[in-house]
Amino acid sequence: MKYIYGPVPSRRLGNSLGIDPLPSKTCNYQCIYCQLGKTTNFTNIRKNFFPKEEIILEMEKAIELHDNSIDYITFVGSGEPTLYKDLKDLLIKAKEFSKKPIAVITNGSLLNNKEVQDALMHSDLVLPSLDAGNEQIFIRINRPHPSINFEDMIDGFINFRNIFYGKFWIEVMLIRGVNDSKKELLKIKEKIDLINPNRIDINVPIRPPVEKWVKIPDKETLSFLNKIFVDYKNINFPEEGKFSIYSSDLETELLSILERHPMRQDQIIKTFSSAKFTEDEIITQLEQLKSLKKIKDILYNNQIFWILEIN
């Protein structure tokens, strides 16, 4: 499938069926910690990048196939999903196809856009990111499109939260030496208090980031989070379980997943072993795709990850 991936194991959403309505790496941010590599289509213009009818047709098939085994239908993927202009229509159709809750994972940059707000009202859970408490750190970490203003974005968080009746969870990505000092964390908490989300998720770069200098905070930093954020969810752990695949074509399925989600080598072996490939066959395929410069392996935190090679 072109627009659907998974179900995949999610640290926050259980077994999640992913809907990706964007071309690879289409985003209005260029985050230093992005797990998918550099943004290649840097834009803040909303449009239908792919025919809506094609996405809806795939959604219907995938939901019918997996509806009994998923916890969430999640709009996310290889870029910023709210850049898809007819997102509202996709969300409405997903609601028609399933009674499972609908989640949208977003960077939150367009929550002040009335059309985006109207679209997201058809979801059950919105999960935006907030990694900074001021414009300087926001620009350093997220490297947003020049048309995005930090304070306007925060106002968008607040305004949307006030009208949204679903669940609203904010994720904070902590990076050593950038936003993990007590001073910066207090600034982030000040903004979060204004927004008043249902839940705060604290994350660290557990997968290889686009900028190699990005590091996980020291344990000392993580130890005083309780004093600042008080009630939060620690999601600093790898997801477990295998990914779902749609065919016996190892190369196609592997590239489709890696386009949207870097995988540990042990995850790849576990996932494709269930499709009756041997470990030797899987490793051989990985090495072959690496030699063709389609994927690459990275040793990160003492684990081997495989990611898509961005040319």
Residue 234 has pLDDT above 80, yes or no: no
Q: How far is CA 100 from CA 5, 94, 210, in A?
A: 16, 9, 33
pLDDT grade for 237, boundaries at 50, 70 and 90: very low
Contact assessment for residue 50 and residue 21, using Cβ atoms and an 8 Å cutoff: yes
Q: Supply the DSSP string of 9-26, one letter for each residue.
A: EETTTEEEEEE--S-TTE
Is residue 154 pLDDT above 60, yes or no? yes
Q: Inform me whether the pLDDT recorded for 128 exceeds 90.
A: yes
Query: Is 234 in contact with 200 (CB distance < 8 Å)?
Result: no
| Average pLDDT over every residue of 220-230 | 80
pLDDT > 80? residue 241: no
Specify the DSSP class assigned to residue 81.
Answer: G
- Compute the C-alpha angle 210/30/245, nearest 5°: 65
CB 144 within 8 A of CB 175: no
The pLDDT of residue 282 is 87
For residues 171-197, give the mean pLDDT.
94
Work out the average pLDDT over 90-117. 97
Q: What is the pLDDT of residues 144-153, one digit of tens each?
A: 999 999 999 9
Torsion of CA 81, 86, 90, 91, to 10 degrees: 70
Please say if the pLDDT value at position 35 is more than 90.
no
Which phi and psi (to 5°) does residue 102 adopt?
Answer: -105, 125
Average pLDDT over residues 94-121: 97
Q: Domains in the chain, ordered, with CATH?
A: 4-240 (3.20.20.70), 249-311 (1.10.10.10)
* pLDDT tens readout for residues 50-77: 999 999 999 999 999 999 989 999 998 7
Tens digit of each residue's pLDDT (9 = 90 or more) over 116-125:
999 999 999 9
The pLDDT confidence band at residue 235, using thresholds 50, 70 and 90, is: low
> Is the distance from CB of 262 to CB of 35 less than 8 angstroms?
yes
Nearest-CA neighbor of 188 among 275, 75, 180, 279? 180
DSSP per position, 298-310: EEETTEEEEEEPP
Which pLDDT belongs to residue 261?
73
Lowest-confidence range among 12-21, 79-88, 121-130, 223-232?
223-232
Does 182 or 253 have the greater pLDDT score? 182
- In the chain, the DSSP E strands lie at 4-10, 14-19, 26-27, 41-42, 72-75, 102-105, 125-127, 167-173, 199-203, 233-234, 263-264, 295-300, 303-308
- Arithmetic mean of pLDDT, 226-252: 67
